[in-house]
Amino acid sequence: MEKYDLLDVPHLIYVMDPMCSWCYGFAPVLTQIKQEQEGKLNFKLVLGGLRANTEPMDAENIAKTKQHWQDVEQVTGQPFNYSFFDRADFIYNTEPACRAVITMRYLKPEAELEMAEKVQSAFYAGNNDVTNEVVLAEIASTFGIEEDAFLEKFSSDDMKEKAQQDFVIARHLQAIAFPSMYLLNGHEVHLLSRGFRTYEAMDMLLKNALKQINNPT
């Protein structure tokens, strides 16, 4: 049924990473668009896998990351907790956070996007270590998922494979900047945006794409 829907019902495809600062900044924009398109367009979330680092952040990466956060905060007004930068030897690996959202997709599908948003807020505003599975399980528990059940699913080879599948889809979509938004109509994928856009810009881009779909030349 899902494959049928993807082909026959127009979809907004949103490619993001819970540990991408511009995706965090884009969250209010996405919420408004999704609410306005409720019942008109279906919605598909793709987790992008921004970073798979295995080494702690060095001074250069810390400085760059802090500058990104400051830029996002200035442009979007989203709150950031800069005490994150007091952490020692933090490994900026976004795979666990992505996998946690995908795990929620299979445990409680209707809460998938909200899980992504809560992971974002926990990381950026709350300075929680969302590379830690225990922290992720605690977030999942706010949706009524028992922590042990979440951890069992999250740690499974199946969820690790599902995460990699999302990352492959993101690459096939050429989502080279997060957040990225696409409009899927049948077999045609229309790029709406790569990178952060304001609500006004996204609204215009989406309306233009829908107009082209409804009135093809």
Is pLDDT at 212 greater than 90 in this prediction? no
Delimit the domains of the chain by residue range: 2-214
Q: In the predicted model, what is the mean pLDDT of residues 132-148?
A: 98
User: Which SS3 state, helix, strand or coil, does residue 194 take?
Assistant: strand
Kindly report each contact of residues 132-139 with a partner whose C-beta sits within 8 Å and lies 24 or more positions away, as own/partner.
Answer: 132/96, 133/96, 133/100, 136/96, 136/97, 136/100, 139/100, 139/115
What pLDDT, on the 0 to 100 scale, is given for residue 6? 53
Q: In the predicted model, what is the mean pLDDT of residues 182-196?
A: 92
**Among 21, 12, 28, 29, CA closest to 200:** 29
Least confident of 6-10, 14-18, 52-56: 6-10
What pLDDT, on the 0 to 100 scale, is given for residue 167? 97
What pLDDT, on the 0 to 100 scale, is given for residue 35? 93
Apex 114 CA angle, 17 and 24, nearest 5? 40
Whether the model pTM is above 0.85: yes
Q: In the predicted model, what is the mean pLDDT of residues 34-39?
A: 92
Element (H, E) at 119: helix 112-124
CA 16 vs CA 48, 177, 190: distances in Å: 5, 9, 17
Q: For residue 26, how many C-alpha atoms fall within 13 Å in the half-sphere facing its CB?
A: 27
Is pLDDT at 186 greater than 90 in this prediction? no
Reading the block at residue 163, the tokens are 């995460």
Q: In what order do the strands lie in the sheet with 42-47?
A: 42-47, 11-16, 180-185, 188-194
Q: In the predicted model, what is the mean pLDDT of residues 44-73?
A: 94
Question: What's the CATH code, domain 2-214?
Answer: 3.40.30.10
- pLDDT tens sequence across 72-123: 999 999 999 999 999 999 999 999 999 999 999 999 999 999 999 999 999 9
Q: Give the contacts of 124 (CB within 8 A, at least 6 positions apart).
A: 21, 24, 69, 78, 79, 80, 81, 84
What pLDDT, on the 0 to 100 scale, is given for residue 1? 35
Is pLDDT at 4 greater than 50 in this prediction? no
List the beta bridge partners of residue 13: 44, 182
**Among 50, 31, 45, CA closest to 178:** 50
- What is the dihedral sign for C-alpha 24, 30, 35, 41? negative
What pLDDT, on the 0 to 100 scale, is given for residue 213? 79
| Rounded Cα gap, residues 102 and 89, in angstroms | 27
